[in-house]
Structure 1
Amino acid sequence: MRYIDDELTNKTILITGGAGFIGSNLAFYFQNNHPDAKVVVLDSFRSGETLSNGNLKSFGHFKNLIGFTGEVISGDINDKELLKDLEKNYKFDYIFHEAAISDTTALEQDLMIKTNVNAYKDLLDLAVAHNANMIYASSAATYGDAASPQRVGREAPQNVYGFSKLSMDYLSREYMAKTNISIVGLRYFNVYGPREYFKNTTASMVLQFGHQILAGKNPRLFEGSDKILRDFIFIEDIIQANIKAMQPKKSGIYNVGTGKARSFQDIVDILQRELGTALECEYIPNPFVGRYQFHTEADIEETREGLGYEPAYEMEDGIKAYISEIERLYQTEVKK
């Protein structure tokens, strides 16, 4: 589905983190709907390098880009020489900034701030130099355990990742005030959908529960999972928000969710209906009580007004659209 009418002919688009979950979906959106645009994907791609928690430093994976015919650059946004080369050798009209250390359990505060905040400032300077519109990934992690519905201006980050994204938002407002480029920050809530598999253990519980069920294992949920609610949003609505952010009514920071909180129990029940299974759920104690959000729900009224965004997928619709990919991944990646 096309979300803007412009052909984008002769426009050049940079997508950082373009081999990741959301970045790769954006790359294919443009290829499929605006083939006359020039799309440049920048990603550090994965190596064996891990954080102190054992998780990969970068989740970018070439398989997310199989079939993409645009330009692909392997590079780190912390590399100032690389950014100088981009400024010199290209003329970007739009920058979609999805690259980040996105692991909320990462302990490397120095790397988190350097990558998420300092490198973003360099990219903002690139956007100003090219007069390019900037659309970047903020996060619902900025809210921490703030009461629902979460609204912009009521932030209380509980980890360095949320802090880094809030710092990006503050920096964006500074640039909004002193430059003429359009800048839009999108606070993603709990995203699920195709091309998330290579996020490994940080992939959504929709995918993880789906693969548990396909393996014939009883789904394992925390006790009281029918009362643990999140704003789960299908990737197609995330793409919609990003594309509409190319031509916003005004620059700003916007929530991107459905505006509806659903439970983890709902996920399992919908998956079992779609997969035709009736496995008994196992309920285990929640070890994160006191450090765990029990309810997230995006206030999206400003997003509707500022971007013309309207979520199109209920959880039932999103999982139904995703189910064949969950099954394909199980056969080709999990069972191999």
Structure 2
Amino acid sequence: MKYTDINFNNKTILITGGAGFIGSNLAFYFQNYYPDAKIIILDSFRNNETFSNGNLKSFGHFKNLLGFKGHVISGDINDKKLLEDLEENYSFDYIFHQAAISDTTVNEQDLMIQTNVNAYEDLLKIAIKHNANVVYASSAATYGDSNRFEVGYESPNNAYGFSKVMMDNITNEYLKKDLNISIVGLKYFNVYGPREFFKNKTSSMVVQFGHQILKGLTPKLFEGSDKILRDFIYIEDVIQANIKACNPKKSGVYNVGTGKARSFEDIVDILQSELNIDKGKEYIKNPFIGSYQFFTQANIEDTQKYLDYKPRYEMEEGIKEYIPEIKRLFKEEVK
């Protein structure tokens, strides 16, 4: 469904990280509802390069864009020459900045800051020159072990969360200036839904548990999973927030979640019910204690007030809508 009265037809839209999970969903939202929009995707498509933790440096995958009719550019957001070309060859109306190193277990702090923080400010300068409204991906990882999930109470416990705090700080500094554009940062909580599969091990536990169950395996949960509560949000509500952020009542940084914390046990129970397969549960030790959030729950009062955002999906509804795609992926992609 359309989430705004803005007419994006004949507008030029840049989506960085557009071959990734959220970026590709944004691309198809615009393509489906605004066929005359000019959509430019920038993504550092995957190759075989990995971080020291063994995970891929880029999760961008062409299969997330099958059926896309816009323009695709393969490139690194850290490439200054590439950014100069974007500045000179296009005139953007909207920039959705989803590109980032989003793996919370990455140890390369220097590259994390360069990619997530410095490149963001470079892109922001282009947006100001183009008079382009900006919506960018922040993260609930900024809160870390904080027990208050409101902007201003961040306490990151990994380099990724820290990098997103630094992005938000840059935003707040720029908003003190007299700008002709809006800038909105969206602190995503635990997002799940179609086109996340190619994030591999960093994809949501919804799809990972779903495939464990379809394999006939017993889902593996961390010990105490009934007390590990997160704010899980379906991708459609994340897209809603991005679109509504194009015309905010007030620029700033906002939480994007449901406002309700649910357990990993809930995910498995719902999946087992929807798939009609129940092999019980197996519990394992949590190896990430010290860098792991045991509770997140978004305070979305300001998001509702300034973005007119209202989550539409309870976890039961989101997983039910996701089930056909989980089954398709299992049949076509899971080896």
- TM-score, normalised via structure 1 length: 0.98
Shift of 1:295: 1.0
Aligned partners of 1:291, 1:258: CA distance in 2, in Å?
A: 23
Deviations 1:36-92 (A, max 9, x none): 211100001001111111100000000000000001111111111111111111100
Aligned partners of 1:265, 1:104: CA distance in 2, in Å?
A: 22
Aligned partners of 1:9, 1:193: CA distance in 2, in Å?
A: 26
- Segments of structure 2 that go 5 or more residues without pairing to the other structure are none
Structure 2 residue 164 is the aligned partner of structure 1 residue 155 = no
Specify the alignment match of 2:241 in structure 1. Answer: 241
Aligned partners of 2:286, 2:104: CA distance in 1, in Å?
A: 18
For the residue of structure 1 that corresponds to 2:304, the secondary structure is helix
List, as ranges, runs of 4+ consecutive aligned residues in structure 1 with deviation greater than 4 Å: none
Aligned partners of 1:195, 1:132: CA distance in 2, in Å?
A: 27
Structure 2 residue 4 is the aligned partner of structure 1 residue 4 = yes
Specify the alignment match of 1:326 in structure 2. Answer: 326
Whether the 8 Å CA contact 2:27–2:39 is kept in 1: the answer is yes
Specify the alignment match of 2:163 in structure 1. Answer: 164
Aligned partners of 2:162, 2:224: CA distance in 1, in Å?
A: 29
Specify the alignment match of 1:126 in structure 2. Answer: 126
Deviations 1:10-59 (A, max 9, x none): 21000000000000000000000111211100001001111111100000
Deviations 1:225-271 (A, max 9, x none): 11110000000000000000000001000000000000000000000
Structure 2 residue 207 is the aligned partner of structure 1 residue 207 = yes
Q: Cα RMSD (Å) of the superposition? A: 0.9
Aligned partners of 1:137, 1:293: CA distance in 2, in Å?
A: 19
Report the AA paired with residue 160 of structure 2: Y
Aligned partners of 1:167, 1:204: CA distance in 2, in Å?
A: 25
Identical-pair percentage: 72
Whether the 8 Å CA contact 2:158–2:291 is kept in 1: the answer is no
Structure 2 residue 45 is the aligned partner of structure 1 residue 19 = no
Shift of 1:282: 0.9
Specify the alignment match of 2:39 in structure 1. Answer: 39
Shift of 1:290: 4.2
Specify the alignment match of 2:256 in structure 1. Answer: 256
Aligned partners of 1:137, 1:174: CA distance in 2, in Å?
A: 17
- TM-score, normalised via structure 2 length: 0.98
Specify the alignment match of 1:54 in structure 2. Answer: 54
- Segments of structure 1 that go 5 or more residues without pairing to the other structure are none
1:257-336 aligned within 5 A: 257-335=257-335
For the residue of structure 2 that corresponds to 1:177, the secondary structure is coil
Shift of 1:291: 3.7
Shift of 1:9: 2.3
Between the two proteins, the alignment pairs up a number of residues equal to 334
Aligned partners of 1:325, 1:278: CA distance in 2, in Å?
A: 20
Whether the 8 Å CA contact 1:7–1:36 is kept in 2: the answer is no
